Amino acid sequence: MKNVAIIGSGLMGHGIAQEFSMAGYNVVMNDQTIEILDKAMEGIKRNLGTMKQVGLIEENDIPRTLENLSLDTSINSASKNADLVIEAVYENLELKQEIFRKLDKNCPKHTILASNSSSLMPSYMGKVTERPEKVLVAHYFNPPYLLPLVELVRSEYTSDETVQCMYDLYTSMGKAPAVVQKEAPGFIGNRIQAAIIREALSIVENGIASHRDVDVVVRNGFGRRLSAAGPFEIFDMAGWDIIYAVSKYLMPHIESSTGVSELLQEKIDAGELGVKTGKGFYEYNDESAEELRSRMAQALIKIASWK
């Protein structure tokens, strides 16, 4: 595998393109206009500058990465020589299916077609192609150049060869691929995140604790452990007999509703959407919003430097 095409240069797309370029692949990044692509290139250069500043890459890695990357406003010319195509447009099924139809007709027969979808099943895209065995989801987490996880989601039609090829590819790049063997909404990561936020909202909604104290518990307690070990590792350390005993008592009291939280609905109705509107559970101005972004970025950079 030598040539990679990235369709969509937004928040995720240009980060994915950056990673493949850094790994030495010939990358073509595609979007609708050259202005959009130029903005994406600015983002890549900014990312590389930050990584160099904190010692994650060397100075000579920057020009080498940029040399591997080219821009193209035509899907057909961007993908015509690709061994791998990753679609990274917004979550619109009709748009994604339209793109996969074009890619299927235009790409070489051996080309693997992947979607960075965070919610749509790979079979939705595979069924509009003549190569469903070569279609899967490669779901990144943001920012892709700092978070190593990629969820590889197969459909019932995706071949073992395709999954193994992508697993080996990402492993060779220093990523941490996880295989989702069965299509399911939310895959792995988003299902776990949804379970956490459902319980967090329930705790606040039922007056058990404030949103601030929930954040204090997560940030200063088990959240720190989760940076070093996963839940199965952590509970292996604790002992499953203890977890069993706690579960028998606690599980009946854990939030299990299948509907959207009333508290969340109230926030939506009030237009309190978070940083983008200046208020969510916290209030934000430009300074406090930037402090939160910076704090999260610096923490991820430190973790990314772990060997």
Q: Which residues participate in catalysis according to the annotation?
A: 118, 139, 151, 190
Helix (H) or strand (E) holding 286, with range, is: helix 286-304
* CA-based end-to-end distance of the chain: 27
User: DSSP assignment of the chain, as one string?
Assistant: --EEEEE--SHHHHHHHHHHHHTT-EEEEE-S-HHHHHHHHHHHHHHHHHHHHTTSS-TTHHHHHHHTEEEES-HHHHHTT-SEEEE---S-HHHHHHHHHHHHHHS-TT-EEEE--SSS-HHHHHTTSS-GGGEEEEEE-SSTTT--EEEEE--TTS-HHHHHHHHHHHHHTT-EEEEE-S--TTTTHHHHHHHHHHHHHHHHHTTSS-HHHHHHHHHHTHHHHTTT--HHHHHHHH-HHHHHHHHHHHGGGS---SSPPHHHHHHHHTT--BGGGTBSSSB--HHHHHHHHHHHHHHHHHHHT--
In the sheet that holds 69-72, the strands lie side by side as: 69-72, 26-30, 3-7, 84-87, 112-115, 135-140, 149-153, 176-180
CA distances in angstroms from 60 to 23, 41, 52, 53, listed in the order given: 14, 17, 10, 13
